[in-house]
Amino acid sequence: MSQSDYVIVGAGSAGCALAYRLTEAGRTVTLIEFGGSDRGVFIQMPGALSYPMNMPRYDWGYSSQPEPHLNNRRLATPRGKVLGGSSSINGMVFVRGNRKDFDHWAASGATGWGYEDVLPYFKRMETWHGGESAWRGDSGPLHITRGKRRNPLFNTFIKAGQEAGWPYTADYNGEHQEGFGPMEATIWKGRRWSAANAYLRPARKTGRLRVIRALAQRILLNGTRAFGVEIERDGKVEQITAGSEVILSAGSINTPKLLMLSGIGPEAHLRDHGIAPVADRPGVGANLQDHLEIYMQYKALKPVSLYTYYNLLGKARVGVEWLLQKTGLGASNQFESCGFIRSGEDIDYPDIQYHFLPLAVRYDGKAAAKGHGFQAHVGPMRSKSRGTVRLASADPAEAPEIRFDYMSHPDDWKEFRACVRLTRQIFDQPAFAEYRGDEIQPGTEVQSDEQIDGFIRKHAESAFHPCGTAKIGQPDDPQAVVDPDLRVIGTGNLRVADSSVFPRITNGNLNGPSIMIGEKAADHILEK
């Protein structure tokens, strides 16, 4: 296949969806991805989710600059470097976001991106295995399932949320997000149903997709019009040209980096690195947002947690069952119940999210406590803090400088303290009486605002949801990077389609809305 109609950079959540929809419509696509195959057992087995995100083979290995409000810690910022992108190394949790998230996008300048505009794409992309629903899709490439909640702690958490005064939500991706209920996952027949499995494999079957494994170095521009991408492959620099357009789907860290390497970004910053500005867009790499969370952990009074399997023999048994039958604990991400609540009566829609886990463990897979335990990951959803992605140098091989500036807004502290206190209320409910032992962390001695703040500074971790670094807005908004058709303002034949374009972070995990961006981008490109 010679020149393709479209060149897409990045085979992640949005890039795979976009490649599939363009090839399905008869267009030819070249997809550039630096990472390799996603066929490894650690990626495909849901229960092994803590491994791929800590493997240099699958992860870019980024971390933040020292975070001044978090004891100058550098926080890990894993990003998928593999077919499927971060959908191949994430926790597989599926959350669309709240209706009001998208209505806020539309009101802030992302015309045509309100809830009623994006709902058809959420429905088109999924096959939901939860029965019939006017809110859900039944024939899309992405399978959405629920864990079986065999462990009694999952339903105990849902019951405790109700005892604490919150509603039950039968489907937080449907009509009502608020409340406690079963959690959904991109898992199908016991396997991780990543964007590579859902979209890339069918796209390849069309014969109209070429996947190139290479490092994208910069966008090729004729004046301000994009005509291709410069890549480095096997030590050689090559040019991949596009008949129609170039689309960046390299994610919220690498997309702004590529734009800046190509002369699109804040003019003074580009000049500092000896890059000739092509389009002065101060919003490139700005508006960086993420979700922070802490783990509230308790000892269990009964041997009901996954700790039974938390040894070499137990893990081997789980692994063998999964390899032979794709069933058992290995077939679940173990996030099977959840909650979305409001931190106060004055908040108009949920701003706190819970992932419940029947084990006291760290995200890197190391046990937090000897013995049985359980935990809730909890954090605020709409932090007002904003950070930046900046070039460290003009060398495309060098990692960019990532500054989240976490907890730089005073409201973040108020919301996080509410997270701690509300979580304690939930675990103090009668439902947990037979299971709840001592609080492992923060620990009962952590009570005052100052003590809670100290715990957050020391222990808050990223939920790995970076976004917003090339936001959708009106062309006259100096901070906007793409217009509502996702075209990079001030250029031609160049678009962005990934989580960079979020004007504001959504409620929950970002894989779902990132795939939606790829789906909707295809219709903008095809002028549907």
Residue 269 a catalytic site member: no
Find, among 1, 205, 182, the residue nearest to 94 by Cα.
182
Looking at the fold, whether 276 and 308 belong to one and the same domain comes out as no
Looking at the fold, whether 364 and 512 belong to one and the same domain comes out as no
Does 183 carry a binding-site annotation?
no
Looking at the fold, whether 163 and 127 belong to one and the same domain comes out as no
The whole-model pTM stands at 0.98
407 close to 385: Cβ distance less than 8 angstroms: yes
Distance CA 516, CA 18 (A): 9
Residue at 14 is within a domain: yes
Report pLDDT for 365.
Answer: 62
Does 378 carry a binding-site annotation?
no
Looking at the fold, whether 341 and 303 belong to one and the same domain comes out as yes
Residue at 71 is within a domain: no
Looking at the fold, whether 157 and 224 belong to one and the same domain comes out as no
Task: Answer whether the bond into residue 442 is a cis peptide, omega within 30°.
Answer: yes
Per-residue pLDDT of the chain (528 residues; tens, 9 = 90+): 579 999 999 999 999 999 999 999 999 999 999 999 999 999 999 999 999 999 999 999 999 999 999 999 999 999 999 999 999 999 999 999 999 999 999 999 999 999 999 999 999 999 999 999 999 999 999 999 999 999 999 999 999 999 999 999 999 999 999 999 999 999 999 999 999 999 999 999 999 999 999 999 999 999 999 999 999 999 999 999 999 999 999 999 999 999 999 999 999 999 999 999 999 999 999 999 999 999 999 999 999 999 988 888 999 999 999 999 999 999 999 999 999 999 999 999 999 999 999 999 876 666 666 789 999 999 999 999 999 999 999 999 999 999 999 999 999 999 999 999 999 999 999 999 999 999 999 999 999 999 999 999 999 999 999 999 999 999 999 999 999 999 999 999 999 999 999 999 999 999 999 999 999 999 999 999
Looking at the fold, whether 191 and 280 belong to one and the same domain comes out as yes
Looking at the fold, whether 325 and 429 belong to one and the same domain comes out as yes
* Phi, psi for residue 36 in degrees, rounded to 5: -100, -150
Report pLDDT for 348.
Answer: 95
Looking at the fold, whether 368 and 226 belong to one and the same domain comes out as no
Does 90 carry a binding-site annotation?
yes
Query: CA 498 → CA 181, 190, 513, distances in Å?
Result: 29, 27, 9
Distance CA 334, CA 337 (A): 9
Residue at 511 is within a domain: yes
As for how many domains the chain has, the answer is: 2
Evaluate the CA torsion angle 87, 92, 93, 94 in order and state its sign: positive
Looking at the fold, whether 195 and 109 belong to one and the same domain comes out as yes
Residue at 300 is within a domain: yes
195 close to 13: Cβ distance less than 8 angstroms: yes
State both tokens at 243: 């008949």
| Amino acid type, 315 | K
User: CA 212, 214, 216, 217: dihedral to nearest 10 degrees?
Assistant: -140
Query: CA 72 → CA 108, 172, 441, 480, distances in Å?
Result: 33, 36, 21, 30
* Count of Cβ atoms closer than 10 Å to residue 294 Cβ: 23
Residue at 65 is within a domain: no
Looking at the fold, whether 178 and 191 belong to one and the same domain comes out as no
Looking at the fold, whether 28 and 156 belong to one and the same domain comes out as no
Report pLDDT for 437.
Answer: 96
Residue at 220 is within a domain: yes
Distance CA 512, CA 484 (A): 19
Looking at the fold, whether 299 and 194 belong to one and the same domain comes out as no
Report pLDDT for 231.
Answer: 98
| CATH code of residue 84 | 3.50.50.60
Does 254 carry a binding-site annotation?
no
Residue at 61 is within a domain: no
State both tokens at 18: 């976009």
Residue at 63 is within a domain: no
| CATH code of residue 320 | 3.30.410.40
- 426-439 pLDDT, tens digit per residue, is 999 999 999 999 99
Distance CA 313, CA 172 (A): 37
Catalytic residue, from 143, 291, 372, 465: name it: 465
Rg over CA atoms, the chain? 22
Whole domain around residue 47: which residue ranges?
1-52+77-140+187-285+387-402+466-528
Does 91 carry a binding-site annotation?
yes
